[in-house]
Structure 1
Amino acid sequence: PTARLRYLLGDHYEFDFVDGAYPWPAYPSIAEVFGHDHTYYSYCDDSPQSVLQAATDLADYATENGPFDAVMGFSLGAALAMTLLLNHDRLGLSTPPFGCAIFICGILPCDWTALEQGQVELLAPSRVSCPVRIPTVHCWSAEDLDYPGQSQALISMCTPNGRVELVHHAGHAFPTDSVGVDQLAQAIHTTVNRMRTRHGASALPN
């Protein structure tokens, strides 16, 4: 499915893949697709210091290698990106390091204040005083049994202006049907073009 998405987006997009470094058990739905014999990785372990470091590392990567039109994350990757977007100012960034964001089966980010106090807690939407204001794409499933309701809560942390929602039926997994992947590609293309036009950059061809 991800290969089809990159094919549909075409040569006008360049992808940087930021890999995790911590061996970690795979989600059941992921292991069902890719197998149980692989080694899977996380961006952090379950300590607050590790989560803070992962967000800092992502901010540093974006600063050193950007600018980036978009960040795209699945599940924990979406949570890490959201943790950074909500707290970029705490890391010395005056503006978000990405022009827009694509969240696929996104789960809740961590509460930064709790992390600084030595605790790992999920951020409740009610504690978000300033929502993410860059355009966002949310591709999620109502049949997500691994993290029910978290994608919807993540959506509420983003401004409705420029927000696109797509619902698929693959559970906590990347959409596998061709129609769902086609819709995701179109939503990404439209959102990136809207962002580029807003910032005075040339829109990508359709």
Structure 2
Amino acid sequence: MDSRPVRVLCLHGVGTNSEVLEAQTARLRYLLGDHYEFDFVDGAYPWPAYPSIAKVFGHDHTYYSYCDDSPQSVLQAATDLADYATENGPFDAVMGFSLGAALAMTLLLNHDRLGLSTPPFGCAIFICGILPCDWTALEQGQVELLAPTRVSCPVRIPTVHCWSAEDLDYPGQSQALVSMCTPNGRVELVHHAGHAFPTDSVGVDQLAQAIHTTVRRMRTRDGASALPN
């Protein structure tokens, strides 16, 4: 039996922070159980509170983004994430919400450009994910969203995609993110909370099961024993 804990690196969205993400994932983490360990990483840029975050958590906290609107900051954020994953890993999974998902996808699509021979995560969980930036455009000094048609080699690690058809903040971007990942081992879950973490018990329960199943498959594929039930 594999006794190693499942280590998950957690990345928040824009205008929020790790403390908020911890609160948003409290039920999910409870359902996943003590065999999982979660590492929450704040962005480097203080940022105005996202409107829906401010309504719940107020304006008295410090909120962050992983980058600003400059191409240099996006490239630096991806570099910093690669360094963090290398120095503090290994991580079984990365879980990103919104901008956190985009940052994780940027690293997964360009890990070789950042000096990593293989992806630093065994699987990825994208919640209300938005599109990453086009790396070539960033190197040319421009910030452009990456179109799925420009992805020559999709992400090949197992992925979980939890998104909402009622996401009016970034319509269609989660679905486009799905198409950047290989269908083999890919799981999709649709919730009804818009651009927010799912809150209904059924949705969170399904997400927990999808994560648990994906990690189990990933570890079995990599030659490790299955997780405890």
Query: Is TM > 0.5 for Structure 1 vs Structure 2?
Result: yes
Cα shift readout 1:104-127 (whole Å, capped 9, x = no counterpart): 000000100001011111000010
Name the count of aligned residue pairs: 205
Give 1:7 shift.
Answer: 0.4
Shift of the 79–185 alpha-carbon distance from structure 1 to 2, 3 Å rule, reads same
Question: Distance between the aligned counterparts of 2:54 and 2:121, measured in 1?
Answer: 30
Question: Distance between the aligned counterparts of 1:35 and 1:186, measured in 2?
Answer: 32
- 2:86 corresponds to 1:48: no
Which residue does the alignment assign to 1:156? 179
Q: What is the root-mean-square deviation in Å for CA atoms of aligned residues?
A: 1.0
SS in 2 for 1:143: coil
Question: Distance between the aligned counterparts of 2:184 and 2:159, measured in 1?
Answer: 9
Hey, which bits of structure 1, 4+ residues long, moved more than 6 A? Answer: none
- 2:157 corresponds to 1:134: yes
Tell me the TM-score normalised to structure 1 length: 0.97
Whether the 8 Å CA contact 1:52–1:115 is kept in 2: the answer is: yes
Percent identity (aligned): 98
SS in 1 for 2:152: coil
Question: Distance between the aligned counterparts of 1:67 and 1:204, measured in 2?
Answer: 17
Cα shift readout 1:74-119 (whole Å, capped 9, x = no counterpart): 0000000000000000011111000000000000001000010111
- 2:62 corresponds to 1:39: yes
Cα shift readout 1:115-150 (whole Å, capped 9, x = no counterpart): 101111100001000000000000000000100000
- 2:128 corresponds to 1:108: no
Question: Distance between the aligned counterparts of 1:127 and 1:22, measured in 2?
Answer: 29
* Structure 2 unmatched runs, 5+: 1-24
Cα shift readout 1:37-74 (whole Å, capped 9, x = no counterpart): 43310011111111100000000111111111100000
Give 1:205 shift.
Answer: 1.3
Question: Distance between the aligned counterparts of 2:172 and 2:61, measured in 1?
Answer: 28
Question: Distance between the aligned counterparts of 1:193 and 1:99, measured in 2?
Answer: 11
